[in-house]
Structure 1
């Protein structure tokens, strides 16, 4: 007896030679209806927010109405995919009832995709509206405390100049960290019995400095070296104390990044180089390190982003950086908007680097796939 051939669009599960009914797709109509309701709720909340802002800010009726109109128009554009999701959900139900299984599944998938897209954008709009409510709550207390335009304008130039100290500390420390971190990584990977003391010392150093918070190291060096009257070191300025402390701390983290990169290189690379007559140091310098450094650039940049933020910790030893300067303005004006300026400056230099890290990671992944 010949085996009956069954179309995959009408049956997806078989019991021996006998097909069984395929399970229907998940209902998409409820999710699509929820998307339409979310658009309506978001438009309503946008109008309510604009009305509240116009009441709180005298003379802001026209700007608030204009902003509300723009946001409402943007949200209303989501109504089209929401209605399309409803239409696709109904199409899926009708197609399934008529036995068109493949069409039903495709329509249900399109309905869910459109509905989820609408819900995602509505959620983003609601978060934005919530931020506006938060800023203008309690008679604009939050806005006046953290985003006072007058205080931000007065303090901007002084804080920007002081921010140059943070950048100087970060750049010099990064250079020293790269050198000292690589030396620690090589010491921790020193081969043979002769390298055991180096491995022990490097491991102890790395474990110790990764265990102690950076602010404690900065405090101990910034106040301890002058009190101990250590020759040469005790006469350094607070800026160089900060550079020294951050170098000692972050080199422990960078050493582990370098070690991971070196260990990721296939042992066959070193074996091939040694077989060609290269020494251990020449193999490391010309074969292993170039490949390892290329692989660890993204995690190194992540560490340096953290380093840039931690330069604000140097205020504990009296260094006049952007944060210390902002505190002076804050105490004079009884307002924290100057500190917000510092936060904005850090954001402006950090986010581009974060995006650069993402691009480097993607490029490394593509290179790995191509290999």
Structure 2
């Protein structure tokens, strides 16, 4: 009898239908959602229309259109700019891996405790302070034009190599601070619990601290990747033919700046999807850490 009664209750639960009040609430929410969408589209169209009318109606617009938005020039410059962008992408990917490794190593050195580790903490702190204080463009100039003149044994003299090295050195200092913030956000009780279970300091760092720290700082790390993707174009000042340099070469023939617009549009096509992915990861991390537990 008990089994039959439980089966009847489960069958009744499966046959549940929303009440009239619930249906009215859902219909009201759908109407509000449609109304909000229509208002948002209408207001966006009005604002964009006013901006376009203001720009197009300005006295200098014909000249600007001819100089910056020439479709014929854009088609001519597109293949060379796209080939240069592929160099930017490769530089960004290689540098991102090196930045992650060096930044994590610096963060670990800065979080070491004890007097024996003081020299390592000091060197890591000096490194971070130095390269965070120097403008990236200045580091690119110093390494790109100065380091090849030293003719160091075993190191290439290519300006592309030293331009990438400048990106790695500068961004590693910022990424190190991001990693350090994640490491220090782990509650000391977790370290004490890991040590009480017999884990060494290295094992605690590897299995307890770093997995949580990296997961917590993933959104800011992805923001740094977005910035690196844009700043990879700064190596153009060394003469490397990337997207920006290719646009500059195309512009120098007739002083039409449309190739720069093409390069900017290509960079945006790379940056916007990565930025939206960063927002999604940040929202997901926020939902996962709402209760204070990663």
In the alignment, the residues of structure 2 paired with residue 128 and residue 294 of structure 1 have an alpha-carbon distance, to the nearest angstrom, of: 43
**Structure 2 residue 254 is matched with structure 1 residue 337:** no
The Cα of 1:239 is off from its aligned counterpart by 1.7
**Does the CA-based 8 Å contact 2:148-2:159 persist in structure 1?**
no
In the alignment, the residues of structure 1 paired with residue 61 and residue 226 of structure 2 have an alpha-carbon distance, to the nearest angstrom, of: 37
Segments of structure 2 that go 5 or more residues without pairing to the other structure are 1-34
**Structure 2 residue 200 is matched with structure 1 residue 279:** yes
**What secondary structure sits across from 2:114 in the alignment?**
coil
Residues 344 and 290 (structure 1), Cα distance of their counterparts in 2 relative to 1, 3 Å cut: same
Question: Which residue does the alignment assign to 2:168?
Answer: 247
The Cα of 1:214 is off from its aligned counterpart by 0.5
**Structure 2 residue 183 is matched with structure 1 residue 262:** yes
In the alignment, the residues of structure 1 paired with residue 232 and residue 122 of structure 2 have an alpha-carbon distance, to the nearest angstrom, of: 30
Question: Which residue does the alignment assign to 2:159?
Answer: 238
Structure with higher Rg: it is: 1
The Cα of 1:236 is off from its aligned counterpart by 3.2
Q: TM-score, normalised by structure 2?
A: 0.83
In the alignment, the residues of structure 1 paired with residue 67 and residue 87 of structure 2 have an alpha-carbon distance, to the nearest angstrom, of: 26
**Does the CA-based 8 Å contact 1:326-1:342 persist in structure 2?**
yes
In the alignment, the residues of structure 1 paired with residue 246 and residue 254 of structure 2 have an alpha-carbon distance, to the nearest angstrom, of: 13
**Does the CA-based 8 Å contact 2:84-2:241 persist in structure 1?**
yes
In the alignment, the residues of structure 1 paired with residue 180 and residue 233 of structure 2 have an alpha-carbon distance, to the nearest angstrom, of: 28
Residues 251 and 285 (structure 1), Cα distance of their counterparts in 2 relative to 1, 3 Å cut: same
Residues 172 and 136 (structure 1), Cα distance of their counterparts in 2 relative to 1, 3 Å cut: farther
**Does the CA-based 8 Å contact 1:330-1:337 persist in structure 2?**
yes
RMSD over aligned CA atoms reads 2.2
Q: Of the two structures, which has the highest relative contact order with CA contacts closer than 8 Å and spacing of 6 or more?
A: 2
Residues 160 and 123 (structure 1), Cα distance of their counterparts in 2 relative to 1, 3 Å cut: closer
Question: Which residue does the alignment assign to 1:146?
Answer: 68
1:277-321 Cα offsets, whole Å, 9 max, x none, are 000001001111011111111100101111111111101111111
The Cα of 1:132 is off from its aligned counterpart by 4.1
Question: Which residue does the alignment assign to 1:49?
Answer: none
Question: Which residue does the alignment assign to 2:3?
Answer: none
Segments of structure 1 that go 5 or more residues without pairing to the other structure are 1-113
**What secondary structure sits across from 2:290 in the alignment?**
helix
In the alignment, the residues of structure 2 paired with residue 222 and residue 367 of structure 1 have an alpha-carbon distance, to the nearest angstrom, of: 44
In the alignment, the residues of structure 2 paired with residue 147 and residue 136 of structure 1 have an alpha-carbon distance, to the nearest angstrom, of: 16
**Does the CA-based 8 Å contact 1:156-1:341 persist in structure 2?**
yes
Question: Which residue does the alignment assign to 2:94?
Answer: 172
Matches within 5 A, 1:37-76: none
Matches within 5 A, 1:186-201: 186-201=108-123
**Does the CA-based 8 Å contact 1:135-1:141 persist in structure 2?**
no
**Structure 2 residue 278 is matched with structure 1 residue 349:** no
In the alignment, the residues of structure 2 paired with residue 332 and residue 206 of structure 1 have an alpha-carbon distance, to the nearest angstrom, of: 42
Question: Which residue does the alignment assign to 2:103?
Answer: 181
